[in-house]
Structure 1
Amino acid sequence: MPRLPDDDAWLLQERRAIGDRIRVRRLRDNRTQESVYLAAGLSRSTYQEIEAGARDARIGSLLRIARVLGVHVTDLLHG
């Protein structure tokens, strides 16, 4: 299957948008990154890379983060 010309840029933009939604929700709840990644059972570096949009998040990781933040995973994906 051929790649779309702007596939990499689109993917980076979407990952950053998901990370931004995670960050906004975390800050709205007055939580630290540490409290979220520990509660979600993720490593610090994995969580930080997801929140920064620097890593493709596995669905299990997104589900855990959403649960800790008290939102449905679709809220992180679609805002």
Structure 2
Amino acid sequence: MPTLPDDDEWLFPERRAIGDRIRITRLRQDRTQESVFLAARLSRSSYQAIEAGSVDVRVGTLMKIARVLGVHVTDLLRG
């Protein structure tokens, strides 16, 4: 089984990519951040941090965002 690096540096680009996919999906639907975070029952700051890729996001939260955007959660996870 492959081993992971000792540091978490590899997480940063992955989180950023997920945030980018959320933002791109939202913009393609011509939606505002506010419409998404309100519908998903998230705070503005939490949602902005998720789109920015600056926080680790829980699976349940990703599922809420995916549902609001009308996509499957895997669409937000895979590149």
- Superposed pair shares fold, TM > 0.5: yes
| Residues 1-79 of structure 1: pairs in structure 2 closer than 5 A | 4-5=5-6, 7-79=7-79
1 CA distance for matches of 2:26 and 2:9?
26
Unaligned runs of 5+ in 2: none
Normalising by structure 1, we get a TM-score of 0.91
CA distance in 2 between partners of 1:10 and 1:78 (Å): 15
CA shift digits 1:35-77 (9 cap, x unpaired): 0000001000100000000010011110000000000000000
Between Structure 1 and Structure 2, which shows a larger proportion of helix residues?
1
Post-superposition offset of 1:10? 1.1
**Structure 1, unaligned stretches of length 5 or more?**
none
SS at match of 1:9: coil
TM-score, length-scaled by structure 2: 0.91
4+ runs deviating over 3 angstroms: none
Give the aligned length. Answer: 77
Q: What's the C-alpha RMSD, in Å, of the aligned pairs?
A: 1.4
How much has 1:3 moved relative to structure 2? 5.6
AA aligned to 1:47 is Y
